[in-house]
Amino acid sequence: MTHSRLPVLGSLRLLTLAATLMFSLAHADEYADVSQLVRTGKLTEALSKADQYLATKPRDPQMRFLKGVIQRDSGKTTDAISTFTRLTEDFPELPEPYNNLAVLYAGQSQFDKARTALEMAIRTNPSYATAHENLGDVYAKLASQAYNKALQLDSSNAGVPPKLALIRELFSPTGAKGQRPVPAAVAAPAAPTPVATKPAPTLPGPAVAKAPVVATPAPTPVPVVAATAASSAAVVAPVAASATPAAAVPVTSSTNQSKDAEAAVHAWAKAWAARDVKAYLASYGKDFNPPGSMSRSTWEEERRLRISSKSKISIKLENLTVTASGNTAVAKFRQDYKANGLAVSSRKTLDLVKNGDRWQIVKESTGT
């Protein structure tokens, strides 16, 4: 999807697969079949098969998301906007439909609507990096429009042209930022968890805070230490026969630290699943700042309302690895979230700091 009027829009990232939504084993074949048809360019057949599936399961978010992608790839922008809009109404926890709405609005030069949609995506998931980056691109277009208007009103303003040139340079294909390739089609999912075809992060559980939403860039990979490795408790200095015995010098084991941090992560997930809001919020340290412009108090209130509104929550952590170094630790895992019929699977990273004898979360990001 290219936009000749402004190169920046070519970099907006539209998710071409329901990457945040966990394919159930019962329906994985249907999703795979539709995805395969899209990948091979058989969009009419793909849309027909999607409609056939939705005739019996009209609320299925995965297939509805995929239908919106098919409509977009078929050039049916109005229909795609309608599909993604209804998804945001029925599943406001999901930031991805907001993101795709924003890209579609931007393609129509409706940048105010695109900005609003992206702000909703980030509000839903403050750690949704794709939405943050897309919002920056939209702001760049709005800035370009404002600078052009300023030149129309005062062509002698020498300060505006360099700003316009900077924006064009940053977002041109050969500029400092570079331009991401435009996605072509949907890839078939491998295993029950779907795979996105572009460099987009897998998406978080509801209201995490790329989240969604940062936008935080993916951190530099850190070697992980398996939390189940054997531990050593202390090192004792050797004693010479003729010398005064040396005192035992305790050394903190990184493995023990990893195990303690791992236990804190499990306690966080357990509190979330139990809808124990007090224990859940206590898992976050005083230095934790929600990404985006949301204040800590606003974030806590939103999390409190969102968690307590669910009748049942299931949190499953898979492939959990923890790396500890001194009083800091990094936990990486895949999180499977289920609540009130909604299933979401995403990669997540938690940065933790040890405060006293407690490990607490100071940063939370998705898709890394």
Q: Tell me, what's the pLDDT at 28?
A: 64
Average pLDDT of the residues in 316-340: 90
Q: Which residues contact 139 (CB under 8 A, 6 or more apart)?
A: 115
Write the single-letter amino acid at 46.
A
Task: Give the side-chain half-sphere CA count within 13 A for 64.
Answer: 21
- Indicate the fold that domain 254-366 takes in CATH: Nuclear Transport Factor 2; Chain: A, (3.10.450)
- What's the whole-number mean pLDDT along residues 314-329? 92
Tell which residue, 40, 32, 120, has the closest CA to residue 73.
40
Q: List pLDDT tens digits, range 57-92.
A: 998 888 999 999 999 999 999 999 999 999 999 988
Q: What is the DSSP letter of 358?
A: E
**pLDDT bucket at 333, cuts 50 / 70 / 90:** very high
Write the CB contacts of 219 (distance below 8 Å, at least 6 apart in sequence).
Answer: 330, 349, 365, 368
Please provide residue 324's backbone torsions phi and psi, each rounded to the nearest 5 degrees: -115, 140
At 199, the pLDDT band (50, 70, 90 cuts) reads very low
What is the Cα–Cα distance from 227 to 17, expressed in whole angstroms? 33
Per-residue pLDDT tens digits for 258-302: 899 999 999 999 999 999 999 999 999 999 988 666 788 888 888
More confident site: 250 or 110: 110
Burial readout 174-183 (b: 16 or more C-beta within 10 A, e: otherwise): eeeeeeeeeb
Mean pLDDT within 44-66: 92
CATH architecture of the domain formed by 7-171: Alpha Horseshoe (1.25)
Nearest-angstrom CA–CA distance, 86 and 258: 44
Task: Please count the CA atoms within 13 angstroms of the CA of 20 that sit on its side-chain side.
Answer: 34
Confidence band (pLDDT; 50, 70, 90) for 15? low
CA 16: distance to chain centroid? 15
- Position of tokens 């800091």? 328
Question: Do residues 191 and 25 lie in contact, with contact meaning Cβ atoms separated by under 8 Å?
Answer: no
Predicted pLDDT at 167? 59
Average the pLDDT over 203-227 and give the result: 36
Task: Say what the pLDDT of residue 170 is.
Answer: 60
Whether 126 shows a pLDDT value over 50: the answer reads yes
C-alpha distances in angstroms, 328 versus 140, 215, 223, 260, 319?
Answer: 36, 22, 14, 11, 20
Across the chain, mean pLDDT equals 73
Sketch the domain layout of the chain as residue ranges.
7-171, 254-366
* Position 94 pLDDT exceeds 50: yes
pTM across the whole model: 0.47
Q: Side by side, which strands form the sheet with 313-325? A: 313-325, 328-339, 342-355, 358-366
Residue 324 contacts residue 225 (beta carbons within 8 Å): yes
DSSP one-letter code for 103: H
